[in-house]
Structure 1
Amino acid sequence: MPTIPRRLRAPLTFLPFLAAVAVAAIVGGLAAADARTVYSGLELPPFAPPAWLFGPVWTVLYIGIAVSGWLYWRSNGDRRALVWYVAQLVLNAAWTPLFFAAGAYTVALVDIALLDVAIAVTALRFRRTSRVSAALLLPYLAWTLYATALNAAIVVLN
């Protein structure tokens, strides 16, 4: 059986992280088939972004999330921190079906509040070993905190 050259092994270890993030993105994408229609039908607060902005923002954030997990794994940090990483991916994947497919805005608000906590804990745990991997999660945390405020406003307004 041929061995993989050493210089190729590290990049290949990125693939499971990319795949895990892709699964979260695909679950969200499938559940968001009618997202533009649902979003435009909601009473939105003045700080709501245009619907077209979500796709580009999430694309960049998902790449950062995958790179963050991979860099942390490569840093040989405490593997228990990866439990938090997986938890935030699960909560992330759950939000879109709850909000857009089920119309369960309050349940989605609980989910995203838990997601905020999971991202923050993940970043704090990652920071112990890899400041770069922790820093890569900060834009994600900022965006989900903004989305939490938006979700809360939608619960109040609708």
Structure 2
Amino acid sequence: MQKILRIATVIITCLAVGYMGSLVTQDNIPTWFAGLKKPFFNPPSWLFAPVWTLLYIMMGYAGGRIWNKIDTQEAIVKKAFLFFLIQLALNSLWSYLFFGLHNPMLASIEIVVLWLMIYETYIQFKKIDKVAAYLLIPYLAWVSFAAILTFSIWYLNR
């Protein structure tokens, strides 16, 4: 039962972080964001919420799997989970930089750091649980796309 509770706790935490980021995002989509020039590959706005929800669930499940290894691999789990928490904080920060501060340039810089922290989290998770690491690959791919999109929006609106 403890293993399920750990996984559920991390999933709920990831979803809560996503929700906090969405609070600053939602009000700015029909106003500020709607007025920006966007590249031809910009997806429709309705697509972001379901994609992020799925990614947060996968991320949380991966993090929960890692947490469940704490009894047998304490030192490496703590290190991996630290990277996990850092990338989660950076994930939320991006929304505040881009949508809250209306600063695509700063968000472009920050998303590179976010990508690096996700990649390092993947590397650390892979040492502990390959399934947990593989669950981060769609997240890494989506943030790669989001980085290109962020840079493009900054470039088109500078």
Global fold match (TM > 0.5): yes
Counterpart pick for 2:3 among 3, 7, 10: 10
Alignment of 1:15-94 (within 5 A): 15-37=8-30, 38-76=32-70, 77=73, 78=76, 79-94=78-93
Q: Secondary structure at the match of 1:95?
A: helix
Q: Secondary structure at the match of 2:26?
A: coil
Deviates more, 1:83-92 or 1:67-76: 67-76
Equivalent AA in structure 1 for residue 111 of structure 2: I
Q: How many correspondences in the alignment?
A: 151
* Offset at residue 42 of structure 1 (A): 1.0
Query: Percent sequence identity over matched residues?
Result: 34
Equivalent AA in structure 1 for residue 145 of structure 2: Y
Give RMSD over aligned pairs: 1.2
* Offset at residue 107 of structure 1 (A): 0.9
Structure 1 residues not aligned, in runs of 5+: 1-7
Q: Distance in 1 between matches of 2:7 and 2:132?
A: 13
The corresponding residue for 2:133 is 134
Q: Secondary structure at the match of 2:16?
A: helix
The corresponding residue for 1:5 is none
Q: Distance in 2 between matches of 1:56 and 1:157?
A: 26
TM-score of the superposed pair, with normalisation by structure 2: 0.90
TM-score of the superposed pair, with normalisation by structure 1: 0.90
Structure 2 residues not aligned, in runs of 5+: none
The corresponding residue for 1:144 is 143
* Offset at residue 22 of structure 1 (A): 2.5
Alignment of 1:118-129 (within 5 A): 118-129=117-128
Question: Which 4+ runs in 1 deviate beyond 3 A?
Answer: none
Q: Distance in 2 between matches of 1:129 and 1:9?
A: 19
